Amino acid sequence: MHAMRTLLIFALLVLPAFAQPSPSAHLALTPPMGWNSWNKFACNVSDELVRGMADAVVQSGMKDAGYRYVVIDDCWQVRRDENGNIVADSQRFPNGIKALADYIHTLGLKFGIYSDAGSKTCEGRPGSLGHEYQDALQYASWEVDYLKYDWCNASTQDARASYALMRDALDATGRPIVLSICEWGKHQPWLWGREVGGNLWRATGDIQDRWGEKKEWKPGDCCSYGVTAIIDELADLYSYAGPGHWNDPDMLEVGNGGMTDTEYRSHFSFWALLAAPLIAGNDLRNMRPEIHDILTNKEVIAINQDPLGRQGQRVRKDSDREVWSKQLVDGSRAVILFNRGEAEQNIVATWEDIGYPGKVVASVRDLWQHKDLGKQSGKFGAAVPPHGVVMLTVQP
C-alpha cells in the first residue's frame, strides 16, 4: 500500500518535471510580424539605426498594427574572443547588444538577431558551427526573442540536424526564442521544419525588390526572386503551414523603391493571404503615406493573423487572371483577384471556386477600399489593374 502511494506520488509530482513542455512550444501561433535590417541596409547596421527603427515602429503606428520583432540581420558580429564568445562590432554597437535589446524591450517590442549554421555567415562573419550552445546562452543572456539562422558555408552539414541542434540549444536556455530557418528551401524544410522546432522556414532564395522572375545572381549562382516568382514557389506548400510553423517567402520589399505602389499592394496582399511572416524591410523613419498605408492596413493584416492559420491557395487560373482563397476561422474566406497581365481585366471568383455552394448569398467587403460591396449571389467580379489585386472577404 505504502509502495503504491510512493509510486503514485512519484508519477504525479516527479515525472511531469521531466516532461516540461519546451519553452518554445507556444511561439508564433500567428505569423511573426516585425522589421529586419537586411533588405534595405545590408551590412550597414548600427545601434543608432536599430534604435531609430524601433522608435519608428512605435511612432508610425506599426506597433499598433501588430509589428513586434525588431531583427538585426548579418554583420553585427565581428569575431570570437579567446573563450569563443561571439563579439559584436564595438564601433557600430558601442553600448553592446544587451543595452540595445533592453531599449527595444522598453518600447514593448521584441528583439531578434542573426547567425548561421555554418562556419561563417553569408557576409563572412563568424557562424555558430561548434558554438551552438555557447551562442544560445549568449543570446538568452542578452534577452533575444528571435533568431534568424542562415545556411551559408554549411559545407556537408545535414540541414535538419543543424537546425534541430540550434533549437535544442535555444530551448536549453529556458528562454522562448523564435527560430527562423533560412536555408532557402534547399533541403525542403517544409517537410521537417516543424518537427525540429522551426517556427518559419524560407522556401526560396532571396527576394529582390522587383515584380517578377527568378534570376541568377551571377552565372551558375542561383537565384534571386521577384515577387511573382516567390508566389509561384509558395503556391504548392499550403499544407505545411499552420500555427507555430510557417512557410517564409522572405521579408517584405514594400517601400524600397523597385516596384509601383500597385505592385507593393499586391506583394503585401499575397504575403497576408499566404500566412507569411510580415517582416518589413524598408526604412520606417521616412515612409511615404502610400507605403505607410500598405504596411498598416489592419484589414489585410487581420487576414494574415487569422488564428486558424491556414495558408491561402490558388483556386483558379485562366491565363494571367487568377483567384486565390484563404479559409478564415469564422468560416468566411479572404479572396484575391489577381491580374498578372499588362492591361486592366475583369476577374470573377465564383463561390464554388472558394468552397461554397453556388446558391449561397454572401457579404463581400473590399479590404483596400475599406468598403462593403453588399450581398452577392454565387460570384463576384471586379476590374483589376495590371499587376494589381482586388482583395476581399466573402462571408456567407
38 binds ligand GLA (CB under 6 A): yes
Q: Which is nearer to ligand GLA, 148 or 265 (CB)?
A: 148
248 binds ligand GLA (CB under 6 A): no
The three three-digit cell numbers of residue 95, written as one number: 553600448
Q: Which is nearer to ligand GLA, 206 or 233 (CB)?
A: 206
77 close to 86: Cβ distance less than 8 angstroms: yes
Q: Which residue in the shown chain puts its C-beta closest to ligand GLA? A: 122
Q: How far is the CB of 73 from ligand GLA (least distance, A)?
A: 5
Stretches 96-104, 117-125, 328-336, 362-370: which one binds ligand GLA (CB under 6 A)?
117-125
Cα 331 to chain centroid distance, Å, stands at 24
Place of cell 544560445: 136
74 binds ligand GLA (CB under 6 A): yes
Marked catalytic residue, from 150, 209, 248, 306: 150
> Judged by CB under 6 A, which of 55, 143, 206, 232 binds ligand GLA?
206
> Judged by CB under 6 A, which of 73, 132, 145, 306 binds ligand GLA?
73
123 binds ligand GLA (CB under 6 A): yes
Q: Which residues contact 165 (CB under 8 A, 6 or more apart)?
A: 132
Q: Would residue 367 be called left, alpha or beta, if left means φ above 0 and alpha means ψ between -120 and 50 degrees?
A: alpha
Q: How far is the CB of 3 from ligand GLA (least distance, A)?
A: 58
Q: How far is the CB of 251 from ligand GLA (least distance, A)?
A: 7
The answer to whether residue 150 is catalytic is yes
Stretches 54-62, 64-72, 118-126, 234-242: which one binds ligand GLA (CB under 6 A)?
118-126
Distance, in Å, from the CA atom of 309 to the CA atom of 129, rounded to the nearest integer, reads: 33
Q: Which is nearer to ligand GLA, 33 or 65 (CB)?
A: 33
Q: State the amino acid at position 141 in one-letter form.
A: S
Of the CA atoms within 13 Å of residue 104, those in its CB half-sphere come to 32
Residues 280-319 that bind ligand GLA (CB under 6 A): none
Beta strand 33-36 with 178-181: parallel, antiparallel or unpaired? unpaired
> Judged by CB under 6 A, which of 104, 122, 227, 389 binds ligand GLA?
122
Distance, in Å, from the CA atom of 88 to the CA atom of 383, rounded to the nearest integer, reads: 52
Q: How far is the CB of 36 from ligand GLA (least distance, A)?
A: 8
Q: State the amino acid at position 93 in one-letter form.
A: F
The answer to whether residue 320 is catalytic is no
Marked catalytic residue, from 168, 206, 261, 366: 206
Q: Which is nearer to ligand GLA, 47 or 150 (CB)?
A: 150
Closest CA to 50 of 28, 76, 32: 76
373 close to 366: Cβ distance less than 8 angstroms: yes
Q: What are phi and psi of 36, to 5 degrees?
A: -135, 145
150 close to 198: Cβ distance less than 8 angstroms: no
Distance, in Å, from the CA atom of 156 to the CA atom of 154, rounded to the nearest integer, reads: 6
Applying CB under 6 A, which residues contact ligand GLA? Answer: 38, 73-74, 121-123, 150, 182, 206
Active site residues: 150, 206
